[in-house]
Amino acid sequence: MAPERLTEGGRIDRRQVLRFRFDGREMTGHPGDTLASALLANGVRIVTRSFKYHRPRGIMGSGAEEPAALVALAGSAAQGNVVPTLLPLTEGLDVRSIHGWPSVRFDLGAVAGLVSRLIPAGFYYKTFMWPDWHLFEPAIRKAAGLAPAPDAAPEGRFETRNAHFDLLIAGAGPAGLMAALTAARAGARVMLVDEGTEAGGSLLARKIEIDGGPAMDWVARTVAELARLPNVTHLQQTTAWGWREHGLVMVQERAPGHPGLIERGWRVRARHVICATGAHERMLVFAGNDRPGVMLASAAQAYVNRWGVRPGQRAVVFANNSSAHEVARDLRAAGVELAAVIDSREGVEANDLPMRAGCQVLRSFGRMGLRGVEVAPRGGGGPERIACDLLAVSGGWNPAVHLHSQSRGSLRWDEGIAAFRPGCVAQSSASVGAADGQFGVADALRSGAQAVAAHLGVPVPDVPQVAKVPPYSIAPLWAVPGKGKSFVDLMNDVTLDDITLANREGYGAVEHAKRYTTAGMALDQGKTGNVNVIGILAGLQGKAPDQVGVTTFRAPYTPVSFGSIAGGKAGPSVLPFRHTPLTAWHMAEGAVMYEAGARWRRPGYYPRAGESFRQTVDREARAVREGVAIYDGAPLGVFAIEGPDALRLIEHACTARYGTLAPGMGRYGLMLTEDGLIFDDGVTFRLSQDRFVMSCSTGNAEAVALHLEKILQIDRPDWCVHVTNLTHQWMNATICGPLARLVLGRLTEMDLSTEAFPFMGLREGLVAGVPARAARVSFTGELSYEINVRPRDLPALWAALLKAGATEGIMPIGSEANHVLRVEKGFLSLAHEADGTVDPYDLGMGWAMARKKGDFIGLRSVLLRRASGRPRRELVGLMPEEPDTDTPEGAPITPGGQRIASEGLVTACVHSVSLGRRVGLALLVDGRARMGDVVQVRLPERCIAARVVAPVFHDPDGLRMRG
Amino acid sequence: MLLIHCPFCGPRSEIEFSYGGPAAPPRPDDPAQLSDADWVDWLTVPENRIGPVPERWCHSKGCGAWLTIVRDTRTHEILEVRHGA
Ligand SMILES: [Zn+2]
């Protein structure tokens, strides 16, 4: 058995041995141990080096409050910055200390003292004001960093759940259990969560009797009854770590007990929340209060009583309150020699204890761990040394108000317990037991029952009997002045001197002091130290603690894994792709797949053996210019707009005129925002008097649908019109190129002649035997038929088109070739030219503004902008002076190529198959007045000269697509 | 995450909704009749109040209704939900 393990007692199973390693040393523990209790049982006193000063540190707490010890886990459970008091011991854990190099016992950082000189108080403020602070950051991170993130993903998976309960009870101590029992018996749907491995809270660590028997027997009976009730969900190792608006509580379940499942995150909506979160013991601030062997009194008590571990051979207890007296007795009962009980309060008596009332510990000593303390009466008098290897300290108790405070409930200072208590609630909730500052077990049981009974409107049940104990009493002792480092925040190495410095330098407001010193900003969030900081600042400023106030209690209450928040949303399932019915075909064909916006997957290009990227794209683009090709247009946004007011809606939302359209014909238009900027573009066809089909940009369908519905539901509820998003109901394959008519004619009875089916016409009929709407629109500048069919018919249509055009060499083309073709034509593309800053005139599309029809969305703002006469960026074509030089998309154009503010930017640049050279598009200030000029595209290392030309490089009159 | 009581679907989580900005006064019938200054005021000057603020939200992943919601910006309390303006 481990050397410091007691032979009996505690809630561990000595029959079963768990092996683990700490820095390579083999150690053993038992089921029921935490990593912290197992380390202490094995006599490990130093588990880490501190963040800034590299001082040796040991375990000081027994739960979420742990202010000092952090370790890293290696192997399959690799994880950085683990709090050992919260981690249940399991077989095979591989534990590493952090910070120390080469080891925690001999650490070079501490010898050199380098790190502390790098990081004075106010470091973040002072350092970040330097002009080049970023130069120092990597070195500082390396020297002062915490454990690195593990290299590999953890084995297993995470998941999240949504749940709804009448009551969420946070904490399964006496108050929480009594609350849960009351609610469960009344039939309410209850979720009871507790961060520990087993229910009981403070009862686990104390020798208290309830109803004449051990308190844990009552806990066991209660837990068993809750387990029998179907309306109760009781989870241990589960933390309510954040409370958001509208009763949403974030819950992390760390041991879901399901194979392969690492953790489960819960998003719980609760009608009412009971905060039974207990209390945290405060540290005392004196010189050397961080020496390994100094421990919170409640932790020392928990180690002997709950885990059967002796945290020291000879103990001194140092407290400013009554709670530590019980600890002293429990330590003695466990065989620890009790050297002295130092109580800073005058006149405190306890005949059975070696009391020294009115005294304080001036400092601790011992090189690598505690050897003793120096004690003196507070009123003055010679110090005395007392040898000890355990100093159990208690600076009083803070109700754990975190959850209450996160819900935006207020806090009030209670002089009687020298702590902040919950004040008013902001959401439906109540704090009970120690979380409400009611530290007695009897009070906790009663308040838990009362709060639930009052909320549910049921009678208050009888509560179990607890033997009477003296009431809690405290006289604050915020700090013992003296030489040497007195820590207020151990994890971030913030000392009493740092707080004093912050106050002197004008950062005495509590929120400033926190940021200036980083007190309370470590993983423990200052659970044991923050109120000491407030008390110290109050003392320095001659105020009461409530006048100093508290810093915000932010979520998370304890460290939370990203996995439990993200759940299954890892990898591609974060944002699932959308596939067209042809995705599998494209991939089988070897297409390089792109995302075409809104997670649509579409082929970028179809490389053939031996081809370069350029050769592939040129081949595909040339097929459209010279022969025939098809592309998958399935993701195109499509809407049916129907009803007596359909025309009004379309003319209100789009720039063009549609009232003059004959059925079976369409017109291109722009959709503007009310501030007169281009939001989308597309073609709208009239099917009959009151029925239209509108298309919009790929990937923008959801935004357009929202926009149209907002008009109809908010602004014009009187209009009779239905907008139906058909994006997923009609999908197209588009056949394009001068031979498109010839090939398509083999698959349909429709009359494809220009007279019967002109440009911008839409015809319904059978194509390849399936019902289709064929539309003569062109995004490539060539003769083009967009064949819209039901999604299930698309693969058959696609196959038929390929077969029908085989002799003409028909081929599929991807978005790269499409991009080349549209740039050659100067057609706008959303997010390239229409980047959210341009209006129709900027793109030379004033012709699309049907001003005669009257007002439409965006018109007023466009006219206002044009009336100002200010220069605008206008769409132009670019011809790089060197024909094969690329002007990268997004590159700025600056006056004379100087490194000054840009006068425009390149929006696209492609290798034109029509011209056999690179051509581009750009937005250029006053661009249309600068045709023929040479501008400079500014790259980081050089400039590229390019001539400004009209933004069309192929068939300027559009004869080919109309033919 | 807000809990929004859609008049058609009941209480639903914020993730089902799309935010549509603060509720503007009704769009002028004929913007051409407005002075430039009045148009700019209507278009671009939001109140940004502390306290109850009317906002537009669309139940876009639910029934598709555009709602007007009066939300207290201090507490997130939702004081009123109605369909349309
Ligand atoms: Zn709804």
At A843 the pLDDT is 96
Asked if B56 lies within 8 A of A248 by C-beta distance, the reply is no
Q: With CA atoms as reference, report the closest residue to A749 among A719, A727, A770.
A: A770
Predicted local distance difference test score (pLDDT) of residue A873: 97
A516-540 pLDDT per residue, tens: 888 888 888 889 999 999 999 999 9
CATH code of the domain occupying A159-279+399-456: 3.50.50.60
The pLDDT score that the predictor gives to residue A99 is 62
Q: Which residues of B touch A (CB under 8 A)?
A: 1-3, 13, 18, 20, 26-27, 30-32, 34, 36, 39-40, 43-44, 56, 58, 60, 64-66, 68, 75-76, 78, 83-85
Predicted pLDDT of residue A525: 84
From-to residues of CATH 2.40.30.110 in chain A = 871-962
pLDDT tens across A621-671, in order?
Answer: 999 999 999 999 999 999 999 999 999 999 999 999 999 999 999 999 999
In a domain, B31, yes or no: no
Q: Angle at CA A821, nearest 5°, toward A703 and A871?
A: 65
Query: DSSP states of A762-831 as a string?
Result: EEEEEETTEEEEEE---SSSS-EEEEEE-GGGHHHHHHHHHHHTGGGT-EE--HHHHHHHHHHHT---BT
Joined together, the tokens standing for residue A62 give 């027994």
Numbered ranges of CATH 1.10.10 in chain A: 485-551
Is there a contact between B39 and A714 if contact means CB atoms under 8 Å apart? no
A937-963: pLDDT as tens digits = 999 999 999 999 999 999 999 999 998
Preceding peptide of A556 cis, ω within 30°: yes
Contact B13 A715 (CB under 8 A): no
Note whether B2 contacts A408, CB cutoff 8 Å: no
At the top level of CATH, the class of A871-962 is mainly beta
Q: Verify whether the Cβ–Cβ distance B2 to A675 is below 8 Å.
A: no
CA of A162 to the centre of ligand 1 (A): 19
- Report the run of H or E that residue A176 belongs to, with start and end: helix A174-185
pLDDT at res. A390: 98
CA–centroid distance, residue A242 to ligand 1 (Å): 27
- C-alpha span between A697 and A150 (Å, rounded): 42
| Angle between the N-to-C axes of helices A215-228 and A174-185, in degrees from 0 to 180, rounded to the nearest 10 | 30
Position A128 scores a pLDDT of 46
Which residue blocks in A663-793 are alpha helix, DSSP H?
701-710, 740-745
* Number of domains, chain B: 1
Phi, psi dihedral angles at A613 (to 5 degrees): -55, -50
Contact between A98 and A90 (Cβ < 8 Å):
no
In which residue ranges of chain A is CATH 3.30.70.1400 found? 637-725
Q: Which fold has domain A593-635+730-821?
A: Gyrase A; domain 2 (3.30.1360)
Q: Which of A710, A861, A867 sits opposite B66 (nearest CB)?
A: A710
CA-CA distance, A169 to A559, in Å (whole number)? 20
Range(s) of chain A covered by CATH 3.10.20.440: 18-113
- Residue B72's CB: how many other CB atoms inside 10 A? 14
CA of B78 to the centre of ligand 1 (A): 16
- A637-725 belongs to CATH 3.30.70.1400: yes
Using the beta-carbon criterion (under 8 Å), do B85 and A861 form an inter-chain contact?
A: no
Q: With respect to CATH, is domain A485-551 assigned 1.10.10?
A: yes
Task: Mutate one of A408, A410, A713, A725 to test the B interface: name it (highest B CB count within 10 A).
Answer: A713
Is A246 in contact with B31 (Cβ distance < 8 A)? no
* Fold of the A18-113 domain: Ubiquitin-like (UB roll) (3.10.20)
CA distance to A582, A700, A780, A923, A930, per residue, from A826 (Å): 29, 21, 10, 12, 17
- A868 and B CB contact within 8 Å: no
Q: A470: cis peptide before it, omega within 30°?
A: no
State the residue range of the domain holding B72: 3-25+37-83
ipTM of the complex model: 0.98
Query: CA A758 to CA A741: how far, in whole Å?
Result: 12
Chain B residue with minimal CA distance to A270?
A: B3
With CA atoms as reference, the chain A residue closest to B19 would be A706
* Residue A743 and residue A734 in contact, taking contact as beta carbons nearer than 8 Å: no
CATH 3.50.50.60 residue ranges for chain A: 159-279+399-456, 283-395
Residue A482 CB neighbour total at 10 angstroms: 18
Q: Report in angstroms the alpha-carbon separations of A53 from A494, A523, A533.
A: 10, 17, 20
Residue A102's pLDDT is 42
Contacts of B78 in chain A (CB under 8 A): 246
Given a cut of 80, whether residue B71 has pLDDT beyond it is: yes
- Does A715 contact chain B (CB < 8 Å)? yes
pLDDT of residue A48: 86
Cβ separation of B43 and A861 shorter than 8 Å? yes
A246–B1: do the CB atoms touch at under 8 Å? yes
pLDDT of residue A658: 97
Q: How far is CA A665 from the centre of its chain?
A: 49
When CB atoms are compared, the residue of B2, B30, B56 closest to A710 is B56
Ligand 1 centre distance from Cα of residue A672 (Å): 27
Is residue A324 within 8 A of residue A394, CB to CB? The reply is: yes
| Partner residue opposite A709 with nearest CB, options B32, B39, B66 | B66
Ligand 1 (ion): residues with CB under 5 Å are B 6, 8-9, 59, 62-63
For position A840, what pLDDT does the model report?
97
Question: Other C-beta atoms within 10 Å of B56: how many?
Answer: 20
Whichever domain contains B45, its CATH number is 3.30.2270.10
**Residue A199's Cα: distance from chain center in Å?**
30
Nearest to A419 by CA among A550, A329, A224: A550
In a domain, B30, yes or no: no
Q: Residue B53 — very low, low, confident or very high, per pLDDT cuts 50/70/90?
A: very high
List per-block mean pLDDT (blocks of 10 residues) for chain A, which spans 963 residues. 92 97 95 97 91 86 92 81 92 83 48 50 50 50 57 86 97 98 98 97 96 96 98 97 95 94 96 98 97 98 98 98 97 97 95 96 93 95 95 98 95 96 95 97 97 97 91 96 91 91 92 88 86 94 92 88 88 84 97 90 96 97 98 95 98 97 97 96 97 94 96 96 95 97 98 96 97 97 98 98 98 97 95 93 96 95 95 97 95 96 97 97 97 96 96 95 91
Superfamily of domain A283-395: FAD/NAD(P)-binding domain (3.50.50.60)
Q: Is residue B32 part of a domain?
A: no
